[in-house]
Copies of this chain bind each other. A is one copy, B any other.
Amino acid sequence: MTSGLRFLVAAKRCEIAELEQLALTSALVNVTGRLVHGLQRERGLSNLFLGSQGQQFGEVRRQQIGESRQIEAELRACFDELDTDSALVGNGARLFSRMAYVLHGLDALEGLRLRVQALEWSPRQATEAYVRLITGLLAVVFEAADSASDPEISRLLVALFNFMQGKEFAGQERATGSALFAAGRAEAVEQQRLLHLIESQERCLEVFAEFSNAQALELWNATQASAMLAELERLRRVLCTAAHGAPLNDQLSKAWFDCCSRRIDRMKAVEDRLALDLLQACEEKVTAAHAELGRFHALNNSPATEPDVLSFFQTPSGANAGGYATAPTSYGPHLERSILELVQEQARRLQSMSEELDTVRASLNERKLIERAKGLLMAHRHLSEEDAHKTMRQMAMNQNRRLVEVAEAVLSMADMLPERLA
């Protein structure tokens, strides 16, 4: 094999390895999404259970716990199958590190369930514990999206991550609303929280719409047109417009939970569709890359010809700039030149993929900015992560600004922080 061809093949092998890695990661994301869904239901039911002093929802909660346990076992099996002895391509360190965190959370999950069962924890405490675990699971999906080196896959992962994050906000909305109805009394702080959760989920869904494929988006839009949404908006109005301290009809607790759940279940269907398309896209790309690799290998068996040594300096490097698809399929008299053209095409394609990827990844930067600002608050004010997040969310509510705007403001006034926020 000529040296040029050998490295052409090596580059293609790297692409294939990354795509296969992405296929594995996508399968993991799929199970992660299902576990998140199960834990979201479990969280909601635990809130209803705690809200009713353990008088109601015990049985349905127990059933849900059983389901969650099954999916958890699946996810653990997925993790176990991962070859942790060899390094992952891409940002494997961050992905593994998120998984390590999640596993600690899953180890602690039975303890949490016992505390809820024994009515030892308040709905608030239980919600926060579930939120922490789900946040950890979503961070795995985020890293997967951030590590994808193929722009089309990356778009689907970004769409999926944002949809899952939006669905989690919808889940938190369900829990917060359930707790409010169950308590039977409107509370301004929680009402503010609800409004913020509604706004946050809408923003995530916008990003989803920007990056989703047509099929998932269509499915989502069809969901949006349903009568169920009118019922949700009516209950949202009841919850959010009641004066602080005014009574809420605790009989609506179940209606609220069911309505939110129906919506979230429909969201799950959209999520499943996206996850399926993602897996399929990975498979197609792996197949295509293997076919391409086969073509490269076939070149090696072409009859040897006098190498055209100067083609490197004489071929305009912009020839065939039109793209990959125009690659010649038969390699006759000028093998050397043909390989050079393939090399140039490969370089151009990788270049344009990397440019497209930069664009897709820019959408992940908002989240990174928020994380960075949070880290700054944690360091400067010795806050826990939760408290840093709460502080920023409170600033966003007070100033009626987006969380990312608050994050930018926090980062830009980093030097003044200790005084300004003390």
Contacts and interface: CB of A to CB of B under 8 A. Distances in A.
6 contacts: A3-B79, A7-B97, A9-B84, A17-B92, A87-B89, A322-B379
A99 B321 contact: no
Contact of A383 (B76, B318, B336): B318
Contacts of A203: none
A331 interface: no
Nearest to A7: B100
Interface of A: 2-18, 76, 79, 82, 84-101, 103-105, 107-108, 110-112, 115, 128-129, 132-133, 149, 307, 309-313, 316-319, 321-322, 336, 339-340, 343-344, 346-348, 350-352, 354-355, 358, 368, 371-372, 375, 378-379, 382-388
B346 A11 contact: no
- For A10, A96, A132, A322, the residue with the greatest tally of chain B CB atoms inside 10 Å of its CB is A10
B347 A6 contact: no
B378 A84 contact: no
Given A94-B350, A97-B350, A310-B108, A10 B321 contact: no
Contact of A107 (B4, B88, B99, B386): B4
Given A7-B79, A108-B313, A352-B375, A18 B93 contact: yes
Given A10-B92, A111-B313, A358-B368, 12 more contacts: A4-B101, A6-B100, A7-B96, A10-B99, A11-B97, A16-B87, A18-B93, A97-B350, A104-B340, A104-B343, A318-B385, A352-B375
Which label, helix, strand, loop or mixed, suits the secondary structure of the A interface? helix
Contacts of A385: 316-318
Contact of A4 (B2, B100, B110): B100
A22 to B, nearest CB: 13
Q: State the copy count for this chain.
A: 2
Nearest to A374: B318
Contacts of A128: 313
- For A15, A16, A97, A132, the residue with the greatest tally of chain B CB atoms inside 10 Å of its CB is A97
Contact of A108 (B311, B321, B348, B354): B311
Nearest to A146: B354
A73 to B, nearest CB: 13
A310 B132 CA distance: 12
